[in-house]
Structure 1
Amino acid sequence: MDADVKDYLTRIKQQSFFGCAKIDGSLKNCIDWYRSRAKLSHYCFRIVGFTTVVLSVSLPFSSQLEVMMGEASNASQAMTTTMIMSWLIALAGGANGFFQWGRSWQSRTEAYMRLERLTMEWEITVHTPAVKLQDVILATKKYVNDSRETIKSETGTFFEEVQFPEVESDKKEMG
């Protein structure tokens, strides 16, 4: 590797963008953040989705089972159970709709995978034997710009996807 290329790489790697994962603002920190948040979104999406399915399927059976037991007091208990399960289903669905865990999981996974791919492409380019300084400079600019664009795009997508619940009075005022 050319001495000028080595010197350039040494100097740019001292910048916070190229720092370790513990440095806020470094690309490695962003990749780790996206990876951990993607996992959290994935778990929330799966748990809330599975809970919604189980409660939805169980609702008719649990209410009928208690009514079939025969006692009059069980009818009110069945109504209470039905109301609680219905509330939990609505809560899980509302939380999933508000937090958009499925969408967050997807966009954060795409972001960290793209950032990792950009890093690998840059490393391959700058460590190619007989690479010229001008090629390293251009590859570095592209790497930094594409990484920032990925982060900006994912952040913008996240805030576009957050949906606040509509309140009935809001609909009347707007309509």
Structure 2
Amino acid sequence: MAQIKKAPVAGVLEIFPRVFEDQRGYFFESYRADWLQSEGVNHEWVQDNQSFSQKGTVRGLHFQKGEFAQAKLVRVIQGKVLDVIVDLRRDSSTFGEKYSAILDAGRNNLMYVPAGFAHGFSVLEDAIFAYKCSNYYHKASEGGILWNDPALAIDWQVNVPITSDKDAVWPTLEEFKISEGGL
């Protein structure tokens, strides 16, 4: 069975699968529904996404709103990233709090992110990033929080961040709170 660690932000889990290694290489189960079910989480995963990003890239902080909100199960297939989330659930005891964990292909760890979080990552080593989603992507329901919001003060652990034009214009967390109030 995998080791499951509860993050300090409500509902977030970090999962460490058992890895079996020998002279040929390694084997591990990268996903089992019963891992999450043991923590009271039940999803029908409907979409898998994969991206490659070069070292120094920052992607995020993204989310889906309303009926298209997505829970995610994220992992790194190759390389290493700093995975970052911000709780946007207005009724949550950890609303507005951030959490980060290093996802590393060498450790094969995963993070479960419930719906209602902004999510992003920075690439510490060239990385292939993969994640399951509990809902389909819907462009009109897309939202984001400014990746370099001074109030969040996220240490992305990269010297010169490579970002997209889209990620440069999302609102700050405070602007989001004023306009949206939360998810």
* Alignment TM-score > 0.5, same fold: no
TM-score by length of 1: 0.18
Name whichever structure is richer in helix by fraction: 1
TM-score by length of 2: 0.17
* Max Rg structure: 1
